Amino acid sequence: MDLWTATKAGDFERVRYLVEDLDADINAKNEFNAIPLFYACLCGHTELVKYFLGKGAILESGTFEGERCYYAALTPEITDILKNFKAKPKPINMLVEHLRTLQSTPQFHDVEFIIENKSIPVHRFLLACRSPYLCNKLRTQWLERNKIVLKHLLIRYEAFDALMQFIYTGSVNIDTDHVDAFLALLKQCQFMDLRKRVDFENNNREDQSDRLIINASEQEIENTLVSDLRVLWKTIVVGERDEYADVVINVEDASFQCHRALLIARSEYFRGLFSGHFKETTDSTTNVVIKDMNTQVFVKVLEFVYTNNVEDMEDYELGLNIMTAADRFLMTGLKHLCVLFLCRQVNMDNVYDILYAAEIFGSYRLSETCLALLAENIHELWESEDFIEYLRGCPLELQKRVKNSIEEYLVHYGQTPRWEQIEQQFDALVLKQ
């Protein structure tokens, strides 16, 4: 039962299973150009309407999807829900979220600032890659110092803490009483673009809030935070020495100088690995060997760790290998990225390989993409003994899903007699083997 069918039936548990366990896309469209929310509205399933809206279903006035849902609403209660719904903010950039968590998890820091007798623990590698000024300070005045006490009267704790927040997340949140001190600190640390932005936003505030909040857009995060970390990733890949790296990861014949704190923040696999590995060693730099891993694939894994993206997967085979690595390293975001890439790569030459991977890794979205392609080409495929042999080797559940996809496709396009013919043959040639 696909997501649209489960929605029409009002099967809440099935819908939740498809969305939360199998990563079904709640804004995907079926052959009638309809998203699941439309059917929830049309069939009067109030709880499913609330569920889809809470999960980020498209409902914007002026869009086809949004207007269609309003028009289809079966009950006044659903109409009211749609009218009163306020769209949630766009999903959080998980790299930013992981860095935010890293900032607030002091046991992984390697340097501590003391200002006005208050502690701000941070990570050298991030300060160095985000600020040439701070990088120079770490290499000179603050060299080999694990605790740095800043006593200058013009350096305020709130201002320095806001600067660290910007370094980790690209955003600013500071009490307006401390904006002047923040502007002075930005000038001293040579964050001139940010200083201009803070000064402008502070002078043009329309509300009377006691806090100045500047949330970076996705593009701003990409141009600043991600751009800086991409430079660091490239340094790692080419094998240049990084004075702040604290772990060397060996894959085949290559060695990568990485940053333990970021690996831990981005991957539960590495969190578990280092939690066990570091208990019996006091080495400042630890060597870790990753077995059964291709170097090219691991480079892409590191690219995602440091930038939250993989710019060039090249082909579907590399995409499948990266998805395998993402599953191994428990990196859901990278796995999702691979699914999106592979959905665009599916064709009749690779559909069997990709469908196999989709089933192994439990990707409903990728599996449905493959099944739709098979259904679209069923006339040619049904004459192929190779296709019949492939189906015979599939698990029973997958055989049934292939059969359902063929039925939906042929019936929708008015080819019911052909479906009835294939149905009889399917049961005889495939299901009864």
64 and 13 in a common domain = yes
In this prediction, residue 65 carries a pLDDT of 63
Distance, CA of 176 to CA of 165 (rounded, Å): 16
Q: Cα(433)–Cα(428) distance, rounded to whole angstroms?
A: 8
In a domain, 24, yes or no: yes
Residue 118 structural domain: 94-219
* Dihedral sign, Cα of residue 335, residue 273, residue 104, residue 149: negative
Q: Which residues pair with 121 in a beta bridge?
A: 112
Q: Verify that 108 and 212 share a domain, yes or no.
A: yes
**Is residue 390 included in any domain, yes or no?**
no
State both tokens at 25: 């896309």
Give the pLDDT of residue 285: 61
The CATH number of the domain holding residue 159 is: 3.30.710.10
**Number of folded domains in the chain?**
2
Q: How many CB atoms lie within 10 A of CB 54?
A: 10
Query: Does residue 206 share a domain with residue 125?
Result: yes
Residue 328 lies inside a defined structural domain of this protein: no
> Do 157 and 173 touch, CB atoms closer than 8 A?
no
- For residues 45 and 75, membership in a common domain is answered with yes
* One pLDDT digit (tens) per residue for the chain, 433 residues: 578 889 999 999 889 888 877 778 888 877 777 889 989 998 989 999 989 888 878 776 556 666 778 777 888 888 888 877 765 545 568 899 899 989 888 778 999 999 999 999 999 999 999 999 999 999 999 998 999 999 888 899 999 999 999 999 999 999 999 999 999 999 999 999 999 999 999 988 877 778 899 988 888 999 999 999 999 999 999 988 889 999 999 999 999 999 999 999 999 999 888 876 544 344 556 889 999 999 999 999 999 999 999 998 889 999 999 999 999 999 999 999 999 999 999 999 999 999 999 999 988 889 989 999 999 999 999 988 899 999 988 888 888 889 989 988 888 888 999 998 988 888 887 765 5
Containing 147, the helix (H) or strand (E) segment is strand 147-150
Burial class (CB in 10 A: 0-12, 13-18, 19+), 396: exposed
Angstrom CA distances, 433 to 322, 379, 430, stand at 35, 22, 6
Which CATH number covers residue 35?
1.25.40.20
pTM of the model: 0.79
In a domain, 193, yes or no: yes
Distance CA 298, CA 304 (A): 10
